[in-house]
């Protein structure tokens, strides 16, 4: 019998259509390409990805579980929006959890991780494109957290950052928060490099709560216009 000479592909390791659609929609929401309240039509999405509506429904259900999409009567799936109170609570939650996570991480942080965090801090400080600030900001913080040894905490933080990402971008861009963020990143990094866990935690909490006050103040002023 002639041996078949085929380049086999492990189909089990490839992402499913629902996975691909989920990641594409998640990124579009997090990056602000899909706006608050925007309707996500299943037939349109299915057509874009050349699939049936079944994987689209699965992807939308997963997005709803993460709080990025809401199902509304007569409209279907829409991009979730947060009230001022919800935004403030999300930042408060981040300050609480991220302060403790960085405390645990700094106690065991490796030189390699510190070097990575420093590179992201420098890239953030030097980046002229405001569209990249939020992503670099996230990479800086998350890198400092990753050695904490608490995967569940990191998973929750990642989901919280997804949910609030478009508001973080607004805080950096619309409130001219970039200069303050650069300086505060330097302080957090110095504390981490000194292995001062308490100082890193205190600076991280102050950094997040300060961003919250700045953003909420801006949004309140916009509402009054």
Q: For residue 127, give the CATH number of its domain.
A: 1.20.120.530
pLDDT band at 60 (very low <50, low <70, confident <90, very high): very high
Question: DSSP 3-state helix, strand, coil percentages of the chain (rounded to 5)?
Answer: 75, 5, 25
Mean pLDDT on 65-78: 86
Indicate if 111 and 188 belong to the same structural domain.
Answer: yes
Q: Into how many domains does the chain fold?
A: 2
Residue 133 placed within a domain = yes
Beta strand 76-79 with 69-72 is antiparallel
**115 falls within a domain:** yes
For residue 21, give the CATH number of its domain. Answer: 1.10.10.10
- What average pLDDT score do residues 35-62 get? 91
pLDDT in tens, 74-107: 888 998 888 899 899 999 999 999 999 999 999 9
**Range(s) of the domain holding residue 98:** 84-224
Distance of alpha carbon 96 from alpha carbon 79, whole angstroms:
26
pLDDT, position 124? 94
Residue 142 scores a pLDDT above 70 = yes
The pLDDT assigned to 188 comes to: 98
- Whole-Å CA distances, 101 to 22, 41, 81, 131, 146: 28, 38, 27, 27, 9
Contacts of 186-192 with CB under 8 Å at 24 or more apart are 186/121, 188/102, 188/144, 189/114, 189/117, 189/118, 189/121, 189/144, 191/106, 192/102, 192/105, 192/106, 192/109, 192/114, 192/117, 192/144
Domain final residue, candidates 79, 109, 129: 79
Distance (Å) of CA 67 to CA 13, 34, 115, 161, 202:
27, 14, 33, 11, 28
Out of 105-109, 129-133, 134-138, 191-195, least confident range: 129-133
- In this structure, the answer to whether residues 117 and 19 fall within a common structural domain is no
Instruction: Rank 1-15, 35-49, 158-172 by mean pLDDT and report only the highest.
Output: 35-49
d(CA 122, CA 162): 23
- In whole angstroms, what is the distance from residue 162 CA to residue 108 CA? 26
195 CB-near residues (< 8 Å, 6+ apart): 106, 107, 109
Do 106 and 40 lie in a common domain? no
The pTM for the full model equals 0.76
| Distance of alpha carbon 97 from alpha carbon 103, whole angstroms | 10
Q: Are residues 160 and 65 in the same domain?
A: no
User: Does residue 88 sit in the same domain as residue 196?
Assistant: yes
Strand-pairing partners, residue 69, are 79
pLDDT of residue 14: 65
- Give per-residue pLDDT as tens, 199-221: 999 999 999 999 999 989 888 88
What is the structure's pLDDT at 32? 77
- The pLDDT of residue 11 is 42
Residue 29 lies in a domain: yes
What sign does the dihedral 58-169-188-118 (CA atoms) show? positive
**pLDDT at residue 75, as a whole number:** 83
């Amino acid at each position: 019998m002639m041996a078949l000479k085929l380049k086999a592909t492990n189909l089990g390791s490839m992402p499913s259509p629902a996975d691909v659609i989920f990641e594409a929609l998640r990124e579009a929401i997090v990056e602000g390409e899909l706006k608050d309240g925007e309707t996500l039509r299943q037939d349109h999405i299915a057509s874009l990805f050349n699939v049936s509506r079944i994987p689209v429904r699965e992807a939308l259900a997963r997005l709803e579980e993460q709080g990025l999409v809401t199902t509304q009567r007569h409209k279907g799936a829409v991009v979730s929006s947060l009230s001022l109170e919800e935004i403030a609570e999300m930042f408060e939650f981040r300050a609480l959890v991220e302060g403790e996570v960085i405390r645990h991480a700094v106690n065991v942080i490796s030189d390699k991780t510190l070097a990575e965090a420093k590179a992201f801090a420098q890239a953030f400080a030097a980046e002229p494109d405001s569209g990249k600030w939020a992503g670099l900001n996230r990479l800086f913080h998350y890198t400092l957290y990753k050695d904490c040894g608490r995967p569940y905490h990191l998973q929750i933080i990642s989901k919280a950052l997804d949910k609030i990402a478009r508001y973080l971008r607004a805080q950096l861009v619309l409130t001219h928060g970039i200069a303050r963020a650069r300086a505060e990143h330097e302080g957090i990094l110095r504390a981490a490099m000194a292995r001062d866990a308490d100082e890193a935690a205190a600076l991280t909490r102050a950094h997040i709560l300060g961003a919250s006050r700045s953003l909420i103040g801006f949004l309140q002023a916009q509402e009054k216009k």
